Amino acid sequence: MLWNTLFLLLPVAAISGWWFGWRAAKKRVVLENERLPPEYFEGLNYLINEQSDRATSLFIKVLDVNSETIEVHYALASLFLKRGEVDRAIRIYQNLLARPTLSKEQRSETLYCLAQGYLKAGVLDRAEGLLNDLISDAGYGLLSLKSLLNIFQQQREWVSAIDIARRLQKRDRLSYSKQISHYYCELAEQQPVHSTEWSRAIKAALSSDRNCVRATIMQGHALLSLGRYSQALNTFKKIEQQDASFIYEALLSMLQCWESMDKPEQALAYLNSLMVRYPSLDILSLYAELGSRLDDNGEFKSTLRNYVLHYPSLKGILSLLKIEGVCQLILEDAALADSLKSLDSQELSYRCAQCGFLGHSLHWQCPSCQAWGEIRRINDLA
């Protein structure tokens, strides 16, 4: 209880100290009739005793909004937001907006703060309306655009997100081309593959960011579904120039193309060349498995075994067991098969390069930091 009381007293003391110090610096002498009313200290008492409803009502009632007290209102609202009492913060901002004494700058700040309060409360439509009113504001226009972009991403309104991102690109120093390309990919996924709308969205994604691996993978899969294996292979191979760390995401589809074309030797040669340029356990496992099927002379198994010995991992051991045929024997036992699948599912194969989020599968947008295109497969040999 003592620590809770101290926690509440610290911000209140800071607020009060700032208020009195500012007035003293301005007027030197604080006249008796200019001091805070007794109700202010009654409100502090309510706040200390965790009677937030009474404290908020009293503060709003007794603190006149003028150039000397508006910062106190902001500080109180910020305190309530930090404590998760969003409704109380919103009431303070609404009370501020109702006062005609606000300057233009103060009104813009209050509108933005109120919009953030609505966002925390999950009232996205009200937040969106306030932020739209602030887009042209000199002080809060850029911040409002960024908040709107987050809203449209949450609501999956990709056309609006593209519009806002383009506006930000003109006003902000950062590039939004990668984000815009992913928004177009999201639009494409909402359309039937091969439709005019789908093709336009994919083209726009690559126009926004020519290194958009996601759009290239979608193109390759579309060609594969039509049986255009050679074109699909050429499309997938572009990934190496765009971002080689994503090449594994297309390898199984590429192997399917070579298998359909009855050209396994080409697949093996390509995997071998990848191993030289981008050595990884994932690529090595595919190389060893395919090589053992084509020529069971033990060479490919030995290569994989040596890597597993130097870079031990459950994934590598399972790959080796699969080639040896042991996995097939295990899978015939249902209990052992379930245990094996459980162990395999515990392997975290993907990491976000921006925030370090770990996951089992590829997400084009990081669930943790919301960054686009930053999650990649973990290279066990790196």
- Is the pLDDT score of 315 beyond 90? no
3-26: pLDDT as tens digits: 454 444 455 555 555 445 545 544
Which pLDDT does position 146 carry in this prediction? 96
Rounded distance between C-alpha atoms, residue 139 and residue 128, angstroms:
17
Is residue 381 exposed (0-12), middle (13-18) or buried (19+ Cβ within 10 Å)? Answer: middle
Contacts for 112 with CB less than 8 Å, ≥ 6 apart = 130, 131, 134, 140, 143, 144
First to last CA, the chain: 51
Q: Is 156 helix (H, G, I), strand (E, B) or coil?
A: coil
- Is the pLDDT score of 74 beyond 60? yes
- Is the pLDDT score of 260 beyond 60? yes
At 355, the pLDDT band (50, 70, 90 cuts) reads: very high
100-138: pLDDT as tens digits: 888 899 999 999 999 999 999 999 999 999 999 999 999
288-313: pLDDT as tens digits: 888 878 876 667 677 777 777 776 76
Q: Is 67 left (phi over 0), alpha (psi -120 to 50) or beta?
A: alpha
Which pLDDT does position 6 carry in this prediction? 43
Which pLDDT does position 35 carry in this prediction? 53
181-230: pLDDT as tens digits: 999 999 999 999 999 999 999 999 999 999 999 999 999 999 999 999 99
97-111, 163-177, 309-323: segment of lowest average pLDDT: 309-323
- Is the pLDDT score of 231 beyond 90? yes
Read off the pLDDT of each residue in 22-31 and give the average, rounded to a whole number: 44
Which pLDDT does position 344 carry in this prediction? 58
Q: Is 123 helix (H, G, I), strand (E, B) or coil?
A: coil
The rounded percent of the chain whose pLDDT value lies above 90 is 51
Rounded distance between C-alpha atoms, residue 64 and residue 70, angstroms:
8
Rounded distance between C-alpha atoms, residue 93 and residue 113, angstroms:
7
Report residue 246 as tokens.
């994503």
pTM score, two decimals? 0.78
In the chain, how long is the greatest CA-to-CA distance?
98
Output DSSP code: residue 295.
Answer: -
In terms of DSSP bridges, do strands 358-359 and 375-377 run parallel, antiparallel, or are they unpaired? unpaired
46-55, 234-243, 288-297, 331-340: segment of lowest average pLDDT: 331-340
48-61: pLDDT as tens digits: 566 666 666 666 66
- Is the pLDDT score of 31 beyond 70? no
Most confident of 44-48, 65-69, 239-243: 239-243
Look up tokens 């909004």; give the residue. 65
3-state secondary structure 303-346: HHHHHHHHCCCHHHHHHHHHHHCHHHHHHCCHHHHHHHHHHHHC
Which pLDDT does position 5 carry in this prediction? 45
Read off the pLDDT of each residue in 363-367 and give the average, rounded to a whole number: 96
Strands (E), 55-208: none
Which pLDDT does position 25 carry in this prediction? 47
HSE value, Cβ hemisphere, 13 Å, CA-based, for 154? 12
